[in-house]
Amino acid sequence: MISLANKRVLVTGGAGFLGGYVVARLQERGCKEVFVPRSSQYNLVEMEAVKRLYEDARPDIVIHLAAKVGGIGATSKKPGEFFFENLMMGAQMMEQGRLYGVEKFVAIGTVCSYPKFIPIPFKEDDLWNGYPEETNAPYGLAKKMMLVQGQAYRQQYDFNAVHLMPVNLYGPHDNFDPHTSHVIPATIQKCAEAIRDGRKEIVVWGTGTPTREYLYVQDAAEGIVLATERYSKPEPVNLGSGSDVSIKELVQVIARLTGFKGKITWDASKPDGQPKRLFDISRAEKEFGFKARTSLEDGLKATLEWYNKRIMKGMAK
């Protein structure tokens, strides 16, 4: 087990949605030296910026969270950007980490790396048994290359790289931009704005039939920090809640919690994405004692409370 109290930890993406919670968890563990780069200062797609980041941060441990992310709409419109930028960030961060001699590199992958059609629940050993869902494939494969790279570097250089794959995340401070947000913040915003504007209908993408698993962001942060402390094996690890819900049921719950009583219309001309997503979460519990604590209902209530306080207050001005 690694004690983080006396380590210098570089958290790329540390100012983002998940990153803010990871940084807070590190500080709770007594980690006094956490370096959080800003994209305005370090463009991690460029090798020279990555080299400069390592020189400035001088890390013992790297947690690589930085990514170009978005919902189905964004990944469908710009698949090349999602592939290239995520591939280059991951490959260069790990290569420079190896050259710099970091003690550990924690790569954060994605559920989108899994094949489109595999048995439920998704087991880590099934990761290579097919091609990912088409709308997310460029992003998912770019992130998956960090697993390949980490295992290759472990074999050749004895480099301690681990690979974690969180399922869909949500929670306070999520991305509510209508052009890039995922289903939970997008639906919360649609319901809240319909109530505010007196509209009796919201339109949601797809058919509502796919199932998804959701992990509360604070639980995800705890899982990442636990793995940083306790896990040093080459095999990838799922981070999830272990329970799923259909998109239709999810939207109905959000409508109830927001107080939206109007019509929910499903736009079947829009893509559904992967048919089913549910993780086998046994490896994370066995290897480093991680188990999600927050129910979907409780997590949604906390997210909605934050939204009402922060987002709606700004809109009312």
Predicted confidence (pLDDT) per residue in 140-150, tens digit: 999 999 999 99
Give the whole-angstrom CA distance, residue 19 versus residue 223.
Answer: 13
Q: Which of 114, 139, 214, 216 is catalytic?
A: 139
Q: pLDDT band for 314, please (50, 70, 90 cuts).
A: low
- pLDDT, residue 52, reads 98
Q: State which H helix or E strand residue 237 sits in.
A: strand 237-239
Mean pLDDT for all residues in the chain: 93
Give the whole-angstrom CA distance, residue 277 versus residue 168.
Answer: 9
* Token output for 17: 């949605």
Q: Give the homologous superfamily in CATH for domain 8-173+214-242+277-294.
A: NAD(P)-binding Rossmann-like Domain (3.40.50.720)
Domain range summary for the chain, segments of one domain joined by + = 8-173+214-242+277-294
Three-state DSSP class for 201? strand
For residue 139, indicate whether it is catalytic.
yes
Task: Judge whether residue 273 has pLDDT over 80.
Answer: no
Task: Judge whether residue 265 has pLDDT over 90.
Answer: yes
With both helix axes pointing from N to C terminus, report the angle between 183-197 and 296-316 in degrees, rounded to the nearest 10: 50
Q: Render pLDDT for 45-96 as a digit per residue (tens, 0 to 9).
A: 999 999 999 999 999 999 999 998 877 777 788 999 999 999 999 999 999 9
Percentage of residues in the chain with pLDDT exceeding 90? Answer: 85
Q: pLDDT band for 181, please (50, 70, 90 cuts).
A: confident
pTM for the whole structure:
0.92
Contact 9, 59 (CB under 8 A): yes
Higher confidence at residue 31 or residue 313? 31
